[in-house]
Structure 1
Amino acid sequence: MGLACGHFGRGIAPSGASRGTREAIDLRDGGKALRGMDVQRALTSVQDSIAPALLGHNATDQAGIDATILALDPSPLKDVLGGNATVATSMAVLHAAAAAARKPLWRHIADHYGQTPTLPLPEIQIFGGGAHAGRRVDIQDFMVMVPGAKTFDEVMEVTSEVYFAAGAIMKQKGRLAGVADEGGWWPIFDSNEEALETLTLAIEKVGEKPGDRVVISLDVAASEFCTDGRYRLALEDRDMGADGLIDLLGTWIDSYPIASIEDPVSEDDPAGMAKFTRRFGARVQIIGDDYLVTNAKLVTEAAAQKACNAVLIKVNQAGTITEGVDAFKAANAAGYRSVVSARSGETEDVTISHLATGLGAGQLKVGSFTRSERMAKWNECLRIQDTLGRDAFVGGAPLANTWWGRKNNGEQR
């Protein structure tokens, strides 16, 4: 994206293997070329429709830019232009505006939206599962968070130790089969709970007390193994309804240092999500991903139903920066926490590192501790920390009044 003043911006659209049915379409060409994954149609949308419509617009008017893009494609899922075309353009404009203002992107975002920038708490995958690892285990992501850390780089150091300890344990047991889509270990387990046992053991192996400085986070991605209201745990040859799955997750919450759970039931089960939130919302963070698809209207509706207490923010899920920020604002209005997130089909684009920081979202989910497209985002946060300062990290003492602080201080045990 080029501006009249000579400044430029670039955005690269990611894609997701696990997708909510209500998120923006990732427009692909189909056919034989590049296994049907070519994006010439999306590029044509940018060149022939979006670019001409944006000529003469002020790049600092992000809302106006995105409204112009949306006017070209009124379809709910952006299946005319393609969500990959709209989000890449929207991100490119954001970068160009920051360049023209001679500001780091995170600072431009903070100033533009009137937010206080903070370095986010990472959520980092140790084991991949579900659609990210050939469904070798049913649960999609087994992750760690280090809310007890005082700086961003301390999180990276502790996570590195846990990650490689987990790999060593699996190798010793003959359970290691490589790495999954997002860089976490591709496991060979006999049950989903064995992954939790192994992850807890890895935390202990590096000298940490599970549930103290280091906690576990799960992305259940329950929609991926739900059919007609029944949940099929293929690894364990088990079939259950929503109540059975909620009870199972409850036993895990009681038995392991789990502080966050994403999509615990299917996206089309608002009653189940509300029930899960009533039972466990005071104890753990409950994130809506496929359930909320970065949609401000859905976040507001979920809040009215008292379902979830946090939302995943994926700008490509919405289709534009403005829609992603609107979902973030709706989360704030509802008293929900926000987790800015990458996708399984990621790129080297680091926009989300700046978005999480500039909005002061508090949390960032990128995938694992390996693969260059993941490390690019973690490393960008480290570079931002060099400018913003280590005290801007949300971990440690500043979390005293949040979900982690209350749990750690014994109020929710």
Structure 2
Amino acid sequence: MTLITDVRLRRILDSRGNTTVEADVATDSSFGRAAAPSGASTGEHEAIELPAADAIKRAREHAIPRLEGEVLAAEQRAVDAALHDADGTENFSEIGANAAVAISMAAAKAGAGSSGVPLYKHLGGTFRGDRFPTPLGNVIGGGAHAAEATNIQEFLSVPSGAPSVTEAIFANAKVHARIKKLLQDEGVPTNKGDEGAWAPPIGDAKAFELVDQATAAVSDELGFDIGFGLDMAAAELYDGDDYVYDDGTRSTAEQIDYVAEMVREYDLRYVEDPLDENAFGAWSELTDEVGSETMICGDDLFVTNVGRLQEGIEHGSANSILIKPNQIGTLTDAVDAIELGARNGIQSAVSHRSGETEDTTIAHLAVGTAAPYIKTGTVGGERTAKLNELMRIEGTA
């Protein structure tokens, strides 16, 4: 157990070419490096991301003096409490959630090194060698991640029958490749969105058809079940009264009926953000109707926040929560949300962001907390970094 001796911050590029914050945390015997991702489709209740240069300046002034020579790297809750104390707000608007989460994740890596354990064991404590997350692979995308593509933000491959996380990862890559072939056969341009998913100029109905066809074909080829799911990012579609699609609008009641119909028609395994981020009651209606058939996952609804999750639990608003450490600012806050959900029958899916880096912390977080799902994309260096790390963990656990 050694004190943090040095914290350094710098600007680096994320996968969209925007600047983000990278942190180095050192002790006398260990070192950790991590970088903050950034979202395009962001919930209004997320912790505040500041411009990288501003976040670095403020963290150097307010946070680093509370860490260097003051906190043990192996004591993650103490590290993250120091970050909260340095910020003094409820949403990291003073030092920036991007600076906070980069420091938090880098400290976790240094803490794992000083303790002599893998990062997933340092983070979790609930790890079991036979439990790995099912990867959700984004194979067709639109919404805020790609212009002139589908209204629904993500169509996700869900290889729920894969015998290992390695086979699941390869299955998602095969589905991604099969969709390209189907698009090419129909003469449709194979554009890509921010997360490496195909972003063709097609409507939602055609996307449903293609993903259904591709997942069924790859499932037959590999001999295990592959379904699919959605991230609807419905807050991006909601205008305050209705959900606006290219082919018309849907009232809240019609949106609930539409989602339920798609769940049953396509046996959807996962539906993320099917309704507006403040519509706890409508979420409850949908979960009552199809929650026994699929995962109804709150991202913008919960923003990895235990207060909003508790409200959702009281309303019965969902049966799953998306976990994004940068939404809330620290790993401690993310783990607290996972644990609160688990105590109340809410499953967790640990997730990347659309603007990513090569950082692999979320792979360790998902394994270490026995999260049932991880959402990391399917292709692209910043996406495959997480996937390859999952396979390394599986090979050594």
User: 1:211 and 1:201 mapped to 2: Cα distance?
Assistant: 15
- 1:15 matched to which residue of 2? 38
Distance of aligned partners of 1:211 and 1:196 in 2 relative to their CA distance in 1, 3 Å threshold: farther
- The one-letter code sitting in structure 2 at the alignment partner of 1:152 is V
Moved more, 209-218 or 345-354: 209-218
- 1:308 matched to which residue of 2? 318
* Deviation sequence 1:181-228 (CA, Å, 0-9, x none): 101111121x31210111111123336299970111100110001011
Q: 1:362 aligns with which of 353, 369, 372?
A: 372
The CA deviation at 1:77 is 2.1
Q: 1:188 aligns with which of 183, 192, 201?
A: 201
Q: Kindly indicate whether residue 221 of structure 2 is the aligned counterpart of residue 221 of structure 1.
A: no
User: 1:217 and 1:225 mapped to 2: Cα distance?
Assistant: 18
CA RMSD between the two structures: 1.7
Q: Kindly indicate whether residue 217 of structure 2 is the aligned counterpart of residue 205 of structure 1.
A: yes
Q: Which runs of 5+ in 1 are unaligned?
A: 29-38, 389-413
Residue pairs, 1:91-110, within 5 angstroms = 91-110=105-124
Q: 2:396 aligns with which of 372, 382, 387?
A: 387
Q: Kindly indicate whether residue 136 of structure 2 is the aligned counterpart of residue 123 of structure 1.
A: yes
1:110–1:116 Cα contact (<8 Å) kept: no
Secondary structure in structure 1 of the residue aligned to 2:283 = helix
User: 2:293 and 2:285 mapped to 1: Cα distance?
Assistant: 14
User: 1:252 and 1:181 mapped to 2: Cα distance?
Assistant: 25
- The one-letter code sitting in structure 1 at the alignment partner of 2:113 is A
1:133–1:186 Cα contact (<8 Å) kept: yes
Distance of aligned partners of 1:148 and 1:68 in 2 relative to their CA distance in 1, 3 Å threshold: same
1:167–1:176 Cα contact (<8 Å) kept: no
The CA deviation at 1:74 is 2.6
- The one-letter code sitting in structure 2 at the alignment partner of 1:17 is A
- Taking structure 2 as the reference length, the TM-score comes to 0.90
User: 1:300 and 1:274 mapped to 2: Cα distance?
Assistant: 14
Moved more, 14-23 or 148-157: 148-157
* Matched positions, count: 372
- 1:141 matched to which residue of 2? 154
* Deviation sequence 1:44-66 (CA, Å, 0-9, x none): 12322211111221112211111
Distance of aligned partners of 1:213 and 1:9 in 2 relative to their CA distance in 1, 3 Å threshold: same
Q: 2:73 aligns with which of 33, 56, 59?
A: 59
The CA deviation at 1:135 is 5.2
1:128–1:140 Cα contact (<8 Å) kept: yes
- Taking structure 1 as the reference length, the TM-score comes to 0.87
- 1:371 matched to which residue of 2? 380
- 1:88 matched to which residue of 2? 102
Q: 2:303 aligns with which of 293, 303, 306?
A: 293
1:356–1:364 Cα contact (<8 Å) kept: yes
- The one-letter code sitting in structure 1 at the alignment partner of 2:195 is E
Identity %: 34
User: 2:350 and 2:220 mapped to 1: Cα distance?
Assistant: 27
Distance of aligned partners of 1:141 and 1:229 in 2 relative to their CA distance in 1, 3 Å threshold: same
- 2:56 matched to which residue of 1? 43
The CA deviation at 1:110 is 2.8
Secondary structure in structure 1 of the residue aligned to 2:269 = strand
2:216–2:226 Cα contact (<8 Å) kept: no
User: 2:376 and 2:212 mapped to 1: Cα distance?
Assistant: 21
Q: Kindly indicate whether residue 170 of structure 2 is the aligned counterpart of residue 157 of structure 1.
A: yes
User: 2:31 and 2:292 mapped to 1: Cα distance?
Assistant: 46
Secondary structure in structure 2 of the residue aligned to 1:144 = strand
Moved more, 336-345 or 63-72: 63-72
Q: Which runs of 5+ in 2 are unaligned?
A: 1-23
- Runs of 4+ displaced beyond 6 Å: 209-212
User: 1:110 and 1:25 mapped to 2: Cα distance?
Assistant: 26
1:27–1:84 Cα contact (<8 Å) kept: yes
Q: Kindly indicate whether residue 55 of structure 2 is the aligned counterpart of residue 26 of structure 1.
A: no
The CA deviation at 1:321 is 0.7
